[in-house]
Homo-oligomer: A and B are copies of this chain.
Amino acid sequence: MTESMQRDPSVIAAGVDLLADAIETQAAPVDRVDWQPPMPGTEADLATVAGDPRRPDANAEAVRRMLDVRAHLVDVVPAREALGLGPGDFLHAGPPITWDRASGPMRGALMGACAFEGLVDDPERAALMLASGSELSLEPCHHHGAVGPMAGIVSPSMWMFVLEDPVSLRRTYCSLNEGLGKVLRYGAYSPDVIDRLRWMANTLGPLLQTAVRAAGPVDITAILTQMLQMGDEAHNRNRSGTLMLLRELGPALVAAGSSDDAAEAIRFIGGNDHFFLNLAMPACKLALDAARDIPGSTMVVAMARNGTDFGIQVSGTGDRWYTGPANTPEGLYLGDYGPDDANPDIGDSAITETAGLGGFSMAAAPAIVRFVGGTVPDALATSRRMYEITLAESPRWSIPALEFRGVPSGIDVSLVCRTGILPQINTGMAGRVAGVGQVGAGLVTPPAEIFPAALAALAGAVDAPSV
């Protein structure tokens, strides 16, 4: 529904400017709309899907289920315990991928994880083992109820946040955030990276476990509500979220260990503005997983990238991935890095946009333009544009600068195909060479072709319904 539908009648001019210009010279009000034709070749599928009698109720049900979920942080445990990972089992971000097609940062993170797990002494030696692949397993986080930012590597000894919906008792998982710069998830694997992972596994994880079990559950959904009023969009700004988590867990952390360890944990969390990202992501996945597998629903339930491919999953077509080559973000670079240093889009963090946060909520976080580029009017326009391709406005998460309008939630494959408007993602940028780490942050969209591919599958399911 466009805003113009709610206003007094006026001229709406789409396409060429000649008509609009002519009317405007006569001092009549004109609404210029960025209209474009549907994505090429989608007309027939759009008609088929539009005519699917299941669609309206299916999408309403998908929206209702997504918006009903509350995400509570209930525990912190090692991945071997949370996800049943055994030695040599690794999870990664995005749709499925193998070593031979993996990008630099994905390879670097896997090499570092092998060293962290003690499979090799030197990360450089892990490459051969990973290339042969014989003793190792590599599967998407999303296939195990988990999400991981950037490379998203999860190995058995990493500790995971456990989020739970108190009604359905469904759970999702995410690793603990390491900070920015030279960190495993950006593909770095130097000794300080591995040392930090060891401290996180030996000290931070157990402390957080004790604190969460004593002070939890922590209502992550409610913190996200507050964050949007405090300049965070929960993808690349998680400052207030991190501080609110610290407020919730601080007193229990003090009691959870020695005062030195507690002080170090509080300093580590407080010194990493992105710490809360790894709670925002599984909270969004928990909400979106509720909307999976509704026949006829055209709602996107996951967007994820592995650094090579960008993939989406859609409610009405089960676990199938629609993938295309990941674009490379454009934005602001750290230090001397430039566009040539950036890897294509990577990470499960686009789950935040899938749920209406991140790029979709940039109007709530105008200061983010200093991190990802662009201007404040761009940020406002981006959020407004996302309402054109979404099914709902969240009753729980709202944007003060848009007069508390709910965030645009639930991407509709058919709206994307009909308008040609692509979901806007803001994201960190990894160096394309293994070992480099973060090189910047910026803006990116999915490859356009995955939406017509998903639409075709939805249309096919109308012709041959599974139910």
Contacts and interface: CB of A to CB of B under 8 A. Distances in A.
A400 interface: yes
A273 to B, nearest CB: 10
B266 A250 contact: yes
Interface string A230-253: 111000000110011011001110
- Copies of this chain in its oligomeric complex: 2
Given A240-B230, A401-B376, A259 B255 contact: yes
14 contacts: A230-B232, A230-B367, A231-B231, A243-B243, A246-B250, A250-B263, A250-B267, A251-B267, A254-B259, A254-B262, A254-B263, A367-B400, A375-B403, A376-B403
A423 to B, nearest CB: 23
Contacts of A267: 250-251
A404 interface: yes
A121 interface: no
Interface residues of A, number: 34
Given A231-B400, A367-B400, A376-B401, A263 B246 contact: no
Given A229-B367, A376-B404, A247 B243 contact: yes
A394 to B, nearest CB: 16
Contacts of A251: 263-264, 266-267, 270
Contacts of A366: 229, 400-401
Given A400-B367, A400-B376, A403-B375, A254 B240 contact: no
Contacts of A230: 230-232, 239-240, 367
Contacts of A229: 231, 366-367
A263 B403 CA distance: 38
A199 to B, nearest CB: 15
A130 B243 CA distance: 44
Nearest to A250: B266
Nearest to A380: B401
A377 interface: yes
Contacts of A252: 263
A167 interface: no
A169 interface: no
Top 3 closest A-B pairs, CB basis? Answer: A243-B243, A366-B400, A27-B27
A246 B242 CA distance: 12
Contacts of A401: 366, 376, 401
A239 B255 CA distance: 24
Contacts of A231: 229-231, 240, 400
**Residue in A246, A375, A377, A400 with the greatest tally of chain B CB atoms within 10 Å:** A400
Nearest to A27: B27
Contacts of A376: 400-401, 403-404
Interface in A210-235: 226, 229-232
B243 A266 contact: no
Given A240-B240, A250-B267, 7 more contacts: A230-B231, A230-B367, A246-B250, A247-B270, A251-B264, A251-B267, A252-B263
A252 B266 CA distance: 10
